[in-house]
Amino acid sequence: MTLQQLKYVIEVARSRSISNAAQNLFISQPSLSNAIKELEKEMGITLFFRTNKGIMITPEGSEFLGYARQVVEQAGLLEHRYSEAPTPQQHFAVSAQHYAFAVSAFVRLLKDYDREEYEFTLRETRTYEIIDDVKNLRSEIGVLYLNEFNKKVISKLLREGNLVFHELFEAKPHIFISSKNPLAEKKYVTLSDLDPYPYLSYEQGDYNSFYFSEEILSTLSRPKNIKVSDRATLFNLLIGLNGYTITTGVISEELNGSDIIAVPLEVEERINIGYVTHKNITNSSLANIYIEYLKETIAEELRQRHI
């Protein structure tokens, strides 16, 4: 087993394609395939299997990749310590539901990451895809919520993917609305108060089940419904149409301005926000820093809004 082979495995897992990985590594596809096969034979395990959607990593491959990342990262640090070679480009990816605090923590990580080269990814995406990204190691961290309604279904998917949910905080439901919405003056709103206004929610694609909804109370019938796919569009419609969405109440005025505000929603529901990691993978140093920034950002926003 060589360090080069470990780098090959990491790139194949990242690219999810032998041909794309070969291009990125500047080697031929047959050479890459043979290197992977030789490593699998030496280790006595199968790292990848092919599907119609591309290369998928096996459970034993996930565990092996966790160790491989650590070895390659440590080798890079060792080389940098005792040579004039530049620090190797590092990769880090997060998949999250549409939470401003997840973006704020990501911004803080980038501001403090003083390197000339890096490749970081923040995917604001659908619930099922967050789970799939962390399961298949496209992202190291996933940020989503659990509550009494979706917990059984989501927890089953997490267990099947060897994923672990770590709670960050419990939130009381709020609505996001325009600061010029007639409801903005209220100390709290009820569900009946919301009937005249358009309800905005994030569409979930092929997994558009109530259990994958990014908003709680997804089974309720509403007279006016609008589905969106990104946060910028949702915020524009909150302002332009006096719409509302249901969320945690944690919003970053620094990133989003003062046009959107949070108003408490009078319901008994609670929202448990957390992050997801792979059980067989040790967190990278970047992942641990991001998690700390998540906790700090959330604590600051909660203090400011007395939530």
DSSP 15-31: HT-HHHHHHHHTS-HHH
173 DSSP 8-state letter:
-
pTM of the full structure: 0.74
Summarize the confidence of residues 43-55 as an average pLDDT: 84
Exposed / middle / buried, residue 87 (Cβ in 10 Å: 0-12, 13-18, 19+): middle
Distance CA 114, CA 112 (A): 6
Q: Give pLDDT, residue 209.
A: 81
| Domain 3-82, CATH among 3.40.50.11890, 1.10.10.10, 2.40.10.10, 1.20.1250.20 | 1.10.10.10
Summarize the confidence of residues 8-18 as an average pLDDT: 86
Region(s) of the chain under CATH 1.10.10.10 = 3-82
Q: If pLDDT is split at 50, 70 and 90, which confidence band does 200 have?
A: very high
Sign of dihedral through CA atoms 70, 72, 75, 76? negative
Q: Give pLDDT, residue 87.
A: 56
Alpha helix (H) residue ranges in 167-272: 231-240, 253-256
Region(s) of the chain under CATH 3.40.190.10 = 91-168+275-305, 171-271
E strands in 97-233: 118-124, 141-146, 163-171, 174-178, 199-202, 225-228
Fold entry, domain 171-271: D-Maltodextrin-Binding Protein; domain 2 (3.40.190)
Residue whose token pair is 């672990």: 164
Distance CA 74, CA 2 (A): 14
Class of domain 91-168+275-305: alpha beta
Residue, of 209 and 163, whose pLDDT is higher: 163
Condensed to tens digits (0 to 9), the pLDDT of residues 108-144 reads 999 888 777 788 999 999 999 999 999 888 899 999 9
Distance CA 99, CA 176 (A): 12
**Joined tokens for residue 290:** 């991001």
